């Protein structure tokens, strides 16, 4: 491997694959892309229906857990994150949600003028080829292939019709003009296969002579000389190994590993660094702070066996699923099962939806220590824009040790109230409509005896998990406490840039994979010195009249 590079990109995930691919479009630029994990070429990763097996495979994840969570009775929460080429885009649920336009308007209102919706939308369009074709909101010739779910099962239809009967709209494209309402889901799936950042961006670029990909390599430190980043240090069997670059080190390691790497390099809150014996290179108080996620719970209902998709997932049914996918790229192996969803407000004083619902026409429950299929359906609901904030810190200066990650879910009382209201919205409005009557749903969890706010609070504190959407730990901004500027450049260290979910100032309303990819496209243009894409004039929906 050559040791002379212009750029070193750390992390071959959703953002790193894009940054490396876009930078190497210039044949004069030499790029090293470093990834701690290995190959993503696995049948279970490629097959959307293999998602449960991917989630359970510890060899391709970081194995991180958050907590103890102080407002959840000390609970530890598994946090899925991909340690593999493609990163979390190779192991996630493939749900394509851009976030609400008002999310980006909020970033701009805080001084990040280049991140308003009009300036983000062109990059969303640039990166995708949408199955339904291009329009003023959607792209038609980008690397990412985005499909619309079939949503053919009868329980998907009951979810949509019940929502309409409850007074909500079914939006024709929740990633277009209007997010709010119920919707048929969209996904990173094309021709029955997962369409990850690796498949879309890295594989087409992999044979470029100016791109070097180094898998199974753990970055342990950023090299800083005379105040500027000049390269990285890698762990090796014979001791540390240095790789230098002439222009920039670009961190794309995610909202947990990016601050971890900064802290290991002496870049972060001085007191925290001294506490674990790391020499302070630059006192940057914001590193590891402002941690956000989407906390959520499952609401489960039982039905007759024949009414649930569970009836098709017997041992014989799973064998058929695999055979149909392998031979024909058809059948249940081509779906992630999250084929309908909703973005809804739980109260009138929010300007746009603060709760996301993902619907499944099957459910599982823990029995005798094992998750077993149960005839029924479930809502995964998460809080889209929580007020609570957590942190990432080092446990020790050993790079092999997981960092201490604490989300502090429900530190804000309003977050807890919104979750309780979200459960009531499901119980008292969505599932009480005529569309559900023939299925005779029986509530399994929280259960019919969990009635009062106090009962529901206890349930939420016990049952809370997350949507695996950590963000915000190296936030961008224009204030003195921001870690990076609006182009992802680390304010305190020249030659160092970040292009992942850690720089989000506030988490967006929806899954993070698509927004992170948009951010990577946008920042890659800035690194290359290219003129930004012209702002869009497309209008968007919010409570009240449309605006642009």
- Inter-CA distances, 379 with 339, 340, 395, 459, 495, Å: 12, 10, 36, 15, 45
- What distance in Å separates the CA atoms of residue 460 and residue 293, rounded to the nearest whole number? 16
Query: What pLDDT band is residue 403 in, cutting at 50, 70 and 90?
Result: very high
The gap from C-alpha 77 to its chain's centroid, in whole angstroms, comes to 16
**Higher confidence at residue 305 or residue 41?**
41
- What distance in Å separates the CA atoms of residue 323 and residue 313, rounded to the nearest whole number? 13
Whether residue 194 contacts residue 90, with contact meaning beta carbons closer than 8 Å, is answered with: yes
pLDDT at 369: 74
Beta-strand ranges (E) seen in 384-491 are: 391-393, 404-406, 442-445, 465-466
- What distance in Å separates the CA atoms of residue 132 and residue 87, rounded to the nearest whole number? 27
- 3-state SS record for 257-269: HHHHHHHHCCEEC
Average pLDDT over residues 50-59: 90
pLDDT at 426 over 60: yes
pLDDT tens digits along 280-339: 999 999 999 999 999 999 999 999 988 889 888 888 888 998 999 999 999 999 999 999
- What distance in Å separates the CA atoms of residue 7 and residue 372, rounded to the nearest whole number? 48
For residue 367, count other CB atoms closer than 10 A to its CB.
Answer: 9
CA atoms within 13 A on the CB side of 141: 0
Q: How do beta strands 282-283 and 295-302 pair?
A: unpaired
| Angle at the Cα of 369 from the Cα atoms of 363 and 373, rounded to 5 degrees | 20
Average pLDDT over residues 244-262: 98
| Angle at the Cα of 505 from the Cα atoms of 500 and 510, rounded to 5 degrees | 75
pLDDT at 545: 39
Nearest to 124 by CA among 190, 90, 173: 173
Whether residue 100 contacts residue 178, with contact meaning beta carbons closer than 8 Å, is answered with: no
Nearest to 488 by CA among 173, 139, 229, 152: 229
pLDDT at 370 over 50: yes
Domain 150-184+295-383+430-463, what fold? Answer: Cholesterol Oxidase; domain 2 (3.30.410)
Query: What pLDDT band is residue 548 in, cutting at 50, 70 and 90?
Result: very low
- What distance in Å separates the CA atoms of residue 437 and residue 416, rounded to the nearest whole number? 30
pLDDT at 179 over 50: yes
Domain ranges (residues) in the chain:
150-184+295-383+430-463
For residue 155, count other CB atoms closer than 10 A to its CB.
Answer: 25
- Is-catalytic flag, 469? yes
- What distance in Å separates the CA atoms of residue 200 and residue 34, rounded to the nearest whole number? 18
Whether residue 474 contacts residue 287, with contact meaning beta carbons closer than 8 Å, is answered with: yes
Q: Cis before residue 401, ω within 30 degrees of 0?
A: no
- What distance in Å separates the CA atoms of residue 369 and residue 371, rounded to the nearest whole number? 7
- 3-state SS record for 80-114: CCECECCHHHHCCCCECCCCCHHHHHHHHHCCCHH
Q: Which residues contact 229 (CB under 8 A, 6 or more apart)?
A: 222, 223, 248, 249, 490, 493, 494, 495, 496
- What distance in Å separates the CA atoms of residue 540 and residue 120, rounded to the nearest whole number? 13
In terms of Cβ atoms closer than 10 Å to its own Cβ (0-12, 13-18, 19+), residue 347 is exposed
In terms of Cβ atoms closer than 10 Å to its own Cβ (0-12, 13-18, 19+), residue 496 is buried
Average pLDDT over residues 162-191: 98
pLDDT at 56: 87
pLDDT at 14 over 90: yes
Percentage of residues of the chain with pLDDT beyond 70? 98
Residue 188 structure tokens: 């990173």
- What distance in Å separates the CA atoms of residue 291 and residue 188, rounded to the nearest whole number? 26
The residue with tokens 């870049």 is: 267
Q: Which residues contact 302 (CB under 8 A, 6 or more apart)?
A: 363, 374, 375, 376, 441, 442, 443, 444
- What distance in Å separates the CA atoms of residue 308 and residue 304, rounded to the nearest whole number? 7
- What distance in Å separates the CA atoms of residue 7 and residue 311, rounded to the nearest whole number? 52
- What distance in Å separates the CA atoms of residue 299 and residue 428, rounded to the nearest whole number? 13
pLDDT at 546: 39
pLDDT at 371: 75
Indicate which residue of 174, 294, 409, 469 is catalytic: 469
Whether residue 144 contacts residue 128, with contact meaning beta carbons closer than 8 Å, is answered with: yes
CA atoms within 13 A on the CB side of 547: 9
Q: DSSP letter string over 353-410?
A: --EEEEEES-EEEEETTEEEEESEEEEEEEESS-S--BEEE-S-S-TTSPPEEE--TT
Give the mean pLDDT of the chain. 95
Query: What pLDDT band is residue 1 in, cutting at 50, 70 and 90?
Result: low
| Angle at the Cα of 461 from the Cα atoms of 457 and 464, rounded to 5 degrees | 120
pLDDT at 134: 98
Torsion of CA 523, 342, 378, 412, to 10 degrees: 70
Task: Indicate the range of 131-145, 187-201, 368-382, 461-475 predicted with least confidence.
Answer: 368-382
pLDDT at 520 over 60: yes
Q: What is the pTM of this model?
A: 0.96
């Amino acid at each position: 491997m050559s040791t002379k590079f212009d750029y070193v990109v750390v992390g071959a995930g959703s953002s790193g694959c894009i940054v490396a691919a876009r930078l190497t479009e210039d044949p004069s630029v030499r790029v090293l892309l470093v990834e701690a994990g290995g190959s993503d070429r696995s049948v279970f990763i490629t097959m959307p229906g293999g998602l449960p097996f991917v989630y359970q495979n510890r060899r391709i994840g970081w194995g991180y857990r958050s907590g103890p969570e102080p407002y959840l009775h000390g609970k530890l929460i598994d946090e899925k994150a991909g340690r593999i080429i493609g990163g979390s885009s190779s192991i996630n649920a493939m749900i394509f949600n851009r976030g609400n336009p008002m999310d980006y308007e909020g970033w701009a209102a805080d001084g990040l003028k280049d991140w308003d919706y009009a300036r983000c939308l062109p990059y969303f369009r640039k990166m995708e080829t949408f199955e339904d074709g291009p329009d003023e909101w959607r792209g038609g010739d980008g690397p990412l292939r985005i499909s619309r779910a079939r949503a053919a099962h009868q329980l998907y239809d009951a979810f949509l019709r019940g929502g309409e009967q409850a007074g909500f709209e079914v939006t024709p494209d929740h990633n277009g003009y209007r997010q709010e309402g119920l919707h048929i889901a969209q996904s990173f799936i094309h021709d029955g296969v997962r369409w990850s950042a690796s498949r879309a961006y890295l594989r087409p670029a992999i044979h470029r002579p100016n791109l070097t990909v180094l898998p199974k390599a753990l970055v342990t430190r950023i090299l800083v000389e005379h105040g500027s980043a000049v390269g990285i240090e890698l762990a090796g069997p014979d001791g540390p190994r240095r790789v230098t670059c002439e222009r920039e080190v670009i961190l794309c390691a995610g909202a947990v590993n990016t601050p971890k790497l900064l802290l290991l390099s002496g870049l972060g809150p001085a007191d925290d660094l001294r506490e674990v014996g790391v020499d302070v290179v630059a006192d940057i108080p914001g590193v590891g702070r402002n941690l956000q996620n989407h906390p959520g719970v499952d609401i489960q209902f039982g039905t007759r066996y024949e009414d649930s998709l569970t009836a098709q997932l017997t041992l014989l049914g799973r064998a058929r699923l695999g055979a149909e996918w392998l031979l024909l790229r058809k059948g249940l192996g081509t779906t992630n099962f999250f084929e309908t969803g909703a973005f809804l407000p739980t109260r009138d004083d929010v300007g746009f939806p603060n709760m996301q619902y993902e619907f499944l026409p099957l459910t599982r429950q823990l029995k005798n220590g094992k998750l077993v299929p149960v005839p029924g359906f479930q809502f995964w609901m998460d809080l889209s824009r929580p007020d609570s904030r957590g942190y990432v810190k080092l446990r020790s200066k050993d790079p092999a040790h997981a960092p201490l990650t604490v989300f502090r879910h429900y530190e804000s009382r309003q977050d807890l109230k919104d979750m309780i209201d979200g459960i009531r919205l499901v119980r008292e409005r969505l599932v009480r409509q005529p569309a559900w009557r023939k299925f005779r749903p029986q509530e399994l969890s929280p259960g019919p005896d969990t009635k009062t706010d106090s009962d529901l609070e206890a349930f939420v504190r016990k049952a809370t998990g997350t949507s695996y959407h950590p963000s915000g730990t190296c936030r961008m901004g224009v204030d003195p406490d921001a870690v990076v500027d609006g182009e992802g450049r680390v304010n305190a260290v020249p030659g160092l840039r970040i292009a992942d979910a850690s720089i989000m100032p506030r988490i967006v309303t929806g899954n993070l994979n698509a927004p992170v990819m948009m951010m990577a496209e946008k920042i890659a243009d800035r690194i290359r010195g290219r003129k930004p894409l012209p702002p869009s004039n497309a209008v968007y929906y919010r409570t009240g009249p449309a605006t642009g």
